[in-house]
Structure formats: structure tokens, C-alpha cells
Chains A and B, each alone.
Chain A
Amino acid sequence: AQKVTQAQTEISVVEKEDVTLDCVYETRDTTYYLFWYKQPPSGELVFLIRRNSFDEQNEISGRYSWNFQKSTSSFNFTITASQVVDSAVYFCALSPRDDKIIFGKGTRLHILP
């Protein structure tokens, strides 16, 4: 079965703290893609990153970084020095070869000033 689990339903941190959002996935496919999307309070969904199953290199983009570990089927997302503008719901997603993208239930992140 294809599944994405985001165990953290809601997280609150104080501004400037680092925070990690967990994502664990299940798939039988050997080729697949993983994604993170952000949904700010305004409601639109914004693409953040895509990773394919053969590329386990970590990625850093400014204050954002992603840690992909096939051994634990995890694709975690870390925000360093969080800011209030990072407050949003973050979705991890899995796309197997059939393109039926499966989203996790999301983690609502509150950054407190």
C-alpha cells in the first residue's frame, strides 16, 4: 500500500527556533518521488521540493533543508531560525509511477512571535 504519515498534527515554536517536520512513507515501488508543499493561511498550495527515490542527498535552500533516508523511509523537513511567515500547513507527498500523488494529512506549524 502507498501511504504517507505525518505524525505531528500541530507544532508550535517560538520565532528563531529550529523545527523539524517528520514524514514517513510506505511504497512497494522502487522508483517514486517525494514532495513537500506549503499551504499558508491564505489557502493556496505551494510546491517546495521534489526528490526522486534514487537521490538521497540532503538538500538545503536558504533556511529550509530536507533529509531523505531510504533506510527509514523518511523525508523530513527542517526550518532553521523559523520566522512568523513560516506559519502554515505543510504537506509531505508521495508519487509512485502511476502519478497518483498521495498526500499526508499535513502538519500545522505555528511560529509564535
Chain B
Amino acid sequence: DTAVSQTPKYLVTQMGNDKSIKCEQNLGHDTMYWYKQDSKKFLKIMFSYNNKELIINETVPNRFSPKSPDKAHLNLHINSLELGDSAVYFCASSHFTGSGANVLTFGAGSRLTVL
């Protein structure tokens, strides 16, 4: 069983479209994250949810909207896609420690290509 699963793995779409990426974890973790990895492999946190509550919201365009229906799921919806949104998006989960000790378990990534 995959611990953190993301769908779809690949997504190719046109500029201006709206798309969603889904993430589910079966580890019993209470905290989930979205990270963006650009073409230079730079990993940057976008959002973090703890028990369905948004706790980290980095400087991300408001075209990106995360939604956490329960603590096992964290979806990412992107409106009006732009070329610069092309990247690999990683979902991750962890137990919340409040001390910085969180060990992340990552999904396999979703590669988004905007044409």
C-alpha cells in the first residue's frame, strides 16, 4: 500500500485552464503539505494543514487553493494556469510536533506541464 499517493502523476494542460491534484495518506499523520519543485530542483513549501486547519501559507498566488476535507486528504486546485506553474508538485505528510522535528513522507510527485 502506498503511504502517500498523489493523482495524477502527469498532467499536461493549456494555459488558462483549471486543474486539481489530489493527495491521500494512510499513515495516520495529522499534518499534510504541498511542495513545489521547479526545473532546477528547488523545493519550496506552499501550504501545510494540521487536522484540516491551514497552518502554513507561503507567498503563493491565490490561484492556488488547497482543500483538506479530512486529515488524510489534501487537494490542490489551481485556477487560470500559467506557464510558470509548470513544475513537480509533491504532497507530504508527517506527525505534527510543533518543534520542527517533523519527518516528511513524500508522495511520488505530480508533474504539471502548462503549454
Q: Do chains A and B stick together as partners?
A: yes
**How many residues of B sit at the interface, in one of the four size bands?**
20 to 34
Report B96-115 CB contacts with A as 1/0, cut-off 8 Å.
11111111111111000000
B102 lies within 8 A of A101 (CB): yes
Which of B44, B45, B101 is most buried by chain A, counting CB atoms within 10 A of its CB? Answer: B101
Which chain B residues have a beta carbon within 8 Å of chain A's beta carbons?
31, 40-45, 48, 55-56, 58, 88, 90, 92, 96-109
Could you tell me the distance between the alpha carbons of A50 and B88 in the complex, rounded to whole angstroms? 24
A45 lies within 8 A of B100 (CB): no
Which residues from chain A contact B108 at a C-beta distance below 8 Å? 43-44
Q: A44-B108, A89-B41 are in contact. Are A100 and B101 (CB under 8 A)?
A: no
B100 lies within 8 A of A97 (CB): yes
Which residues from chain B contact A103 at a C-beta distance below 8 Å? 42-44
Cβ-defined partner of B100 (8 Å) among A32, A37, A46: A32
Could you tell me the distance between the alpha carbons of A89 and B105 in the complex, rounded to whole angstroms? 17
Which residues from chain A contact B96 at a C-beta distance below 8 Å? 99
